[in-house]
Structure 1
Amino acid sequence: MTRPASAADAAIESVSVLSEELRRRMFDFIRRARRPVTRDEAAAHVGVSRKLAAFHLDKLVDAGLLRAHYGSPGGIRKVGRQPKVYEPTDTPIRVSIPDRRHELLADLLLQAVLTEGEDETGVQAAIRTAAERGLDLGETERSQARPGRLGVERGLTFCERMLDQHGFEPEREGPTRLRLRNCPFHPLAAKAPDLVCGMNHAFLTGYLQGLRATAVQAVLAPRPGECCVELGQADAAEEEGTG
Structure 2
Amino acid sequence: MDIEAIALLQDPVRRRLYEFVAGAGADVGRNEASSAAGVSRTLAAFHLDKLVEGGLLDAVFRRPEGRAGPGAGRPAKYYRRAETEFTASVPPRDYRGVASLLAETVAEAGLDDRAVEAAREAGRAGEREPLLDVLRARGYVPLERDEQVRLLNCPFHALAEEFPPLVCAMNLALLEGLAEGTSWRARMAPGAGRCCVALSKTNEV
> What TM-score do the two structures reach when normalised by structure 2?
0.71
Shift of residue 80 of structure 1?
Answer: 8.3
Structure 2: gaps (5+ residues): 89-94
Equivalents in 1 of 2:81, 2:139: separation in Å? 20
Larger Rg: 1
Partner of 1:205: 176
Equivalents in 2 of 1:191, 1:121: separation in Å? 17
Partner of 1:58: 49
Equivalents in 1 of 2:32, 2:197: separation in Å? 30
Equivalents in 2 of 1:91, 1:216: separation in Å? 27
Letter in 2 for 1:190: E
Alignment of 1:162-173 (within 5 A): 162-173=134-145
Alignment of 1:224-235 (within 5 A): 224-234=192-202
Partner of 1:216: 184
Number of equivalent positions? 189
Match of 1:86 among 63, 78, 91: 78
Equivalents in 1 of 2:37, 2:160: separation in Å? 33
Partner of 1:116: none
Shift of residue 231 of structure 1?
Answer: 0.9
Letter in 1 for 2:133: R
Shift of residue 21 of structure 1?
Answer: 3.1
Secondary structure at 1:171 match in 2: strand
Counterparts in 2 of 1:86 and 1:189: CA distance versus 1, 3 Å: same
2:67 corresponds to 1:77: yes
Secondary structure at 1:183 match in 2: coil
Counterparts in 2 of 1:63 and 1:130: CA distance versus 1, 3 Å: closer
Shift of residue 166 of structure 1?
Answer: 0.9
Question: Among the aligned pairs, what percent are the same residue?
Answer: 37
Whose helix fraction is larger, Structure 1's or Structure 2's?
1
Equivalents in 1 of 2:186, 2:52: separation in Å? 38
Equivalents in 1 of 2:52, 2:187: separation in Å? 38
Secondary structure at 1:33 match in 2: coil
Kept in 2: contact 1:134–1:207 (CA 8 A): yes
Kept in 2: contact 1:38–1:83 (CA 8 A): no
2:116 corresponds to 1:127: yes
Partner of 1:145: none
Secondary structure at 2:149 match in 1: strand
Kept in 2: contact 1:171–1:180 (CA 8 A): yes
Secondary structure at 1:231 match in 2: strand
Secondary structure at 1:77 match in 2: coil
Counterparts in 2 of 1:216 and 1:76: CA distance versus 1, 3 Å: same
* 1:88-142 CA distance string (max 9 Å, x none): 486734249xxxxx78x95xx79xx9xxxxxx9632332222112211124x43x
Letter in 1 for 2:141: E
Equivalents in 1 of 2:196, 2:53: separation in Å? 34
Secondary structure at 1:227 match in 2: coil
Equivalents in 2 of 1:17, 1:201: separation in Å? 33
Letter in 2 for 1:173: R
Match of 1:18 among 2, 6, 9: 9
